[in-house]
Structure 1
C-alpha cells in the first residue's frame, strides 16, 4: 500500500515532548502506564479516523467545515478565537521545543553550537514548506517517521525489556502513587487537537474520488501510521524503564529528551547513544515541520482564507509560527506564559472539537452513508467523556 497523510499525523505527535513524557513514564513507573498508551492510541485512531473521513467525503478540512456549519456570527467568532489561540499561538509556543529537540539530537552526533543548529534546522523546515510541493513534504516526513521507528525499536531491542512485565503493563490498568500527572501527560501528548485539523485538511486537499475502496485505503493508512506511532512511544517507555526504573528521576534533574541519549551509554553501549540521538533529531524535525503546517491549515481554514500551500496568507501563518520557534530556540528563551496559555486553550479546544466532530459525523445530509454507526458513536462518546475529565483537570491544575 502507499503511505499517505496518516504518517504526517504520526510525524506531528511524536516529538521531543512525547520523548520526554514517555521517558519519564518508563523511568519513574516502569511498564505500569503502558495501558494509558493503549487507550491513547485507540482514541487517536477513532478521532483521526473520523477527521479523515470528513475530509474525504466533504472535500473540506475540519476548520473549513467548522466555519461553514456554524450558523451564527458569534459562534463563528468564538470558534475563530479559540482555534487561532489554541492551534496558531500554541504551535508557535511549542515550535521552539521542536527545533531545540532536533538540534540537541544533531549536536549529540556532530557537536557544535545548539543555537546554530536550531537556526539551520528552522531554515530547512522553512525551505521544505516554502517549496509548496506536498509530495516533497510527505516523502520527507514519511522517511523521518520510518527512521524514528527503526532507531527507537532497535534501541528497545538492545535494552532487552522484561517482556512479561511489558504485557502486564499493557493489559492491567493501574495508576501508581504519583503517576496521575504522567498519565494525563501521556494522553495529552498523543491525542492533540491540531492533528484533527491537519489530517482532515491533508485528506481533503487530495481531492480523490469518493469510493469505498478509497476510504478503505485512507483508513488503512491511518491505522498503520498511528499504530506505528504508538509502537515508537512504547519503545521509548520500554528503553527508559530498562535503563532508569527505580531511580525516581525528575524532568529537571537529569532526565530530559536532550541528555537521555548520553545517559543510555552505560547500559546499552555507545551505539545506542547515537541511535537515540538520531531518533531525537528525527522527532524534533518532523514536529518542527508539521506544527507550522497544522497551524496554517487550522488558522486559514477557520478564517476563510485559502489553504493552498502556495497561498500568501497560508505561507504567512506558517512562517510566523516557524519564526517564533526559531527566535525562541536560538535565544534559549522559555516562553512559559505562552505555553501555559496554549495548554489551557488546547484543554478547552480538544473536547469541544471532538464533540463538534461527533455531531458532524452524524449529519445524514452531509455524509450520507458515510456517517457514523452506533458502535462508532458509542466509542467516540466514551472517549469524549474521558477527554472532558482530562481537560477539566488540566485547567484546574493550570489555574
Structure 2
C-alpha cells in the first residue's frame, strides 16, 4: 500500500460518523444538482421506454459520478484555487475561456429548462399561471442566493435530496421487481435509435456533468477545505454521490421499470404518465406525490445550477467567488433573473430535461480531460495522481465520450437541417478537438 493510500485510509477512518455527517457539504450541493428533475426524467424515461435494459448505465452513473467528483475535489484541495484560475495559469487564457464557454452553455440551457419545470409544476399544483411563477421563482432565487450565498444553498440541498431519496425508496418497497430481467439489464447495451442513445446519455449525464465537475473546486473553497481535509472530502463524495445519489437513481429507475416497463415511448412521457409509477404506493394521490417530489428536486437543482456560471465567470475575471464581492452577487442575481425566460420555452418539459443532460454530457469529456491534465501537472499540484486514479480518469473520459458520441451520431443521422441538431454537432466537434488538444499537450510535455 502506497504512502498516499495509507494517508487516505487513516484520514477516512478518523472521527465519529455523526461528526462527519455534520461536517459534510460541498458534494451534497453537487448531489442536489445531480438528483434533479432532469435526472429524474431520464431515469423514468429509461425505465418506462426500455424496461431494465439500461440498468447498467444507472449503476455505472453512480460509480463514475463519484469518481468524477473525487477527481474534481482532489484538484480543489491540492490547488486551493478555482479550476478556471488554474487552467489559465497552466494552460493559458484561451483554454480558460473555452472551459467557461462550455460550462455557461450547458448550465445556461439547463437553467432555462429547469425553470420551466419549476414554473410548470408550481402552476399544476396551485393553478396560478406558470409565467407568474417563473418571475416569482427567479426573484426568490436572486434575493436568496445573492443575500445568503453558499450556506443556504448547502442546507437546502441536504434536506431536499434526503427527502426525495426517502420518497422513492418507499415506492420501491411496494413495486414488484423482476430479478431475471433486472440481471439482464446489467449487460451493457444501448437500445437502437435516437431515443436509446439520448436516454442513455441523459442517465449518465445526470451524474457526470460538466457543471458538477467544474463547480466542485469552488464549493470546496467556499467550505474553506484544504489538503488537510482530504479524508473528510473523500467521505463527502462517497456519501453523497455513490450512496445517496446511487440509491436515489436505482429507486427511481426500478420503480419505473417495474410499473411502466416498455409502455411509453421516450418522447411521449409526461409528468402525469410518470406519476403512475407511484400508483402502487399512493393510489389516487400518486400524481400529487410525484409532482411534489419533482418540485423539490427541481428547486434544489435550480439553486445549485444558478451558482455555476457566476463561479467560473467571476474566477476568470479575477473577482472573488463569494457574496462579499458585489460583482459576484450581481452575476448571481442576473443568472437567476435570466432563468425566468425558461417559462417561454416551448414543448413538454420531460423530454427537454433529458435533452439537457445529453447536451451537457457532450461537453463533459473536455472538462474531465482538463482536470486529469492538471492533476498530473507538477506545477499545478504538489502530489500528482496515482496510476489507479489516472486509470479511473481515463475510463471516465472514455465512457462519457462514447455515450456522448453515440448520442451526437444518432441525432445527426437525420441531417443537420434542424438548428438544434446543427448546434449540438458543432458543439461536439469543437470540444472533441479541444479534448484531443489537451491530450496532445500532456503527451508533448511528458519527460522522455
TM-score range, shorter chain: 0.7 to 0.9
Q: What is the root-mean-square deviation of aligned Cα atoms in Å?
A: 2.9
Per-residue deviation, residues 1-54 of structure 1 (Å, max 9, x unmatched)? 223111100111222221221111000111121111222222221121011111
Give the counterpart of 1:226 among 232, 235, 241. Answer: 241
1:159 deviates by: 2.5
Structure 1 position 95 matched with structure 2 position 111: yes
Match of 2:57 in 1: 36
Per-residue deviation, residues 102-148 of structure 1 (Å, max 9, x unmatched)? 23444444443323333332233222201234222211121111111
Give the counterpart of 1:239 among 255, 269, 286. Answer: 255
Match of 2:401 in 1: 388
CA–CA distance in structure 1, aligned partners of residues 394 and 330 of structure 2: 37
1:70 deviates by: 1.9
Distance 1:42 1:62, change over 3 A: same
Give the counterpart of 2:284 among 270, 281, 286. Answer: 270
Structure 1 position 83 matched with structure 2 position 106: no
Give the counterpart of 1:305 among 310, 315, 319. Answer: 319
CA–CA distance in structure 2, aligned partners of residues 248 and 342 of structure 1: 20
For structure 2, the residue ranges without an aligned partner over 5 or more in a row are 1-19, 413-420, 426-448
Within 5 A, what are the aligned runs for 1:86-165? 86-165=102-181
Distance 1:107 1:260, change over 3 A: farther
1:281 deviates by: 0.5
CA–CA distance in structure 2, aligned partners of residues 343 and 111 of structure 1: 29
CA–CA distance in structure 1, aligned partners of residues 175 and 353 of structure 2: 34
Match of 2:341 in 1: 327
Question: Counterpart of 1:259 in 2: which secondary structure?
Answer: helix
CA–CA distance in structure 1, aligned partners of residues 261 and 274 of structure 2: 16
25-34 vs 273-282, which moves further: 273-282
In the alignment of these two chains, the number of paired residues is 385
TM-score between the two structures when normalised by the length of structure 1: 0.86
Counterpart contact for 1:105–1:279, Cα < 8 Å: no
CA–CA distance in structure 1, aligned partners of residues 291 and 362 of structure 2: 34
Structure 1 position 210 matched with structure 2 position 224: no
Match of 1:175 in 2: 190
CA–CA distance in structure 2, aligned partners of residues 69 and 120 of structure 1: 42
48-57 vs 304-313, which moves further: 304-313
Within 5 A, what are the aligned runs for 1:359-374? 359-369=373-383, 371-374=384-387
Per-residue deviation, residues 300-331 of structure 1 (Å, max 9, x unmatched)? 223333212332332233333222221221x3
Counterpart contact for 1:6–1:225, Cα < 8 Å: yes
CA–CA distance in structure 2, aligned partners of residues 21 and 341 of structure 1: 9
Distance 1:189 1:345, change over 3 A: closer
Distance 1:150 1:364, change over 3 A: same
Distance 1:23 1:196, change over 3 A: same
Question: Counterpart of 2:266 in 1: which secondary structure?
Answer: coil
